[in-house]
Amino acid sequence: MAQGLLGIEALSREEIQAILDRAKYFQPREGQSFRKYDLLRDRMVVNLFFETSTRTRTSFEIAAKRLGADSVSITASASSVSKGESLVDTLNTLAAMRPNAIIMRHAASGAPHFLQRYLEIPIINAGDGTHEHPTQALLDARTILDRGAKLEGLRVAIIGDIAHSRVARSNVYLLSKFGANIVLCGPASLLPEALKNIASGVTLTTNMDEAIRDADVIMMLRVQLERQHEPGFSASEYFQFYGLQLEHLKLARPDAIVMHPGPINRGREISSEAADSQRSVILNQVENGISVRMAVLERVMSGKKTDGATAY
């Protein structure tokens, strides 16, 4: 089967580490932009997004271009999917144009895994339903490591709509492989009990103060209204119990960082003061999205395993 990137669950710690190390290599020097390489010259990548995206799609596109690859982006509403073409037919059509990889986001959990069975071209999962968002977890790990922290033994509170979050799931898989302690927190209706069994080192709580106490990392999540029939609470009710405010930070470790995959909803899951505080690394996450996706694209499309220490 083609070697794409479908999820974190199937990756070994060594493979993850190699991507993170290589991403470090691609980070821009102080005050500069991302360097342009020709490591993927002659390669072509297609971005196929069936769900909205700002950060993920743009950074995949920039990452491909910085590596010298050609990149084409397609949004589902502008494609023949809206004319009734099946997913398999759309993918086969794109595959016939001979790209070297297809980056895909889809609302159905497992869609890229299913398609990879039919396709020789590697697929990179840019988010499948409520299942996985592997490059988000990789860029989150890169951002945590950039603060000088080790993942092992770290206390990470992931707070919000856990039930519908592919970001939470991929982060749990990654962080648990490195021995972090993960606290999942949210309203009971968005915090399925079964989640504590998905990996080692995971605990659940509906109490936000308890989740944040002594946390090294506070990762806030958006309420995924598009995946819920009945949210069951208003924005202000949600904010009262699960919105991150500056006072919460006093409970965390003094050097704790605040993360959010974006898009943020100020006044729903996070206050402006917390989102814009000194502790917030939300824009560092966005920046790392490019270097991590460069490392992933190189790994998938260059045909050779990357080793962070290798000088190209």
List residues near ligand NCD by CB under 6 A.
55-56, 127, 133, 136, 166-167, 222, 261-262
Our CB check for ligand NCD shows the closer of 5 and 43 to be 5
CB of 185 to ligand NCD, least distance (A): 16
CB of 305 to ligand NCD, least distance (A): 26
DSSP string of 179-209, one letter each residue? T-EEEEES-GGG--GGGGGSSTTEEEES-HH
CB 174 within 8 A of CB 144: no
Our CB check for ligand NCD shows the closer of 66 and 293 to be 293
Our CB check for ligand NCD shows the closer of 43 and 290 to be 290
Our CB check for ligand NCD shows the closer of 161 and 216 to be 161
End-to-end CA distance of the chain: 27
Our CB check for ligand NCD shows the closer of 52 and 207 to be 52
The residue among 72, 66, 92 whose CA lies nearest residue 81 is 92
Give Cβ neighbours of residue 145 (< 8 Å, ≥ 6 apart): 20, 151
The Cα–Cα gap between 69 and 298 comes to 10
The Cα–Cα gap between 102 and 97 comes to 11
CB of 136 to ligand NCD, least distance (A): 5
CB of 63 to ligand NCD, least distance (A): 14
The Cα–Cα gap between 68 and 80 comes to 29
**Encoding tokens for residue 235?**
């924005």
Q: Which residue is nearest to ligand NCD (CB)?
A: 222
CB of 165 to ligand NCD, least distance (A): 7
CB 161 within 8 A of CB 223: yes
CB of 127 to ligand NCD, least distance (A): 5
Our CB check for ligand NCD shows the closer of 187 and 262 to be 262
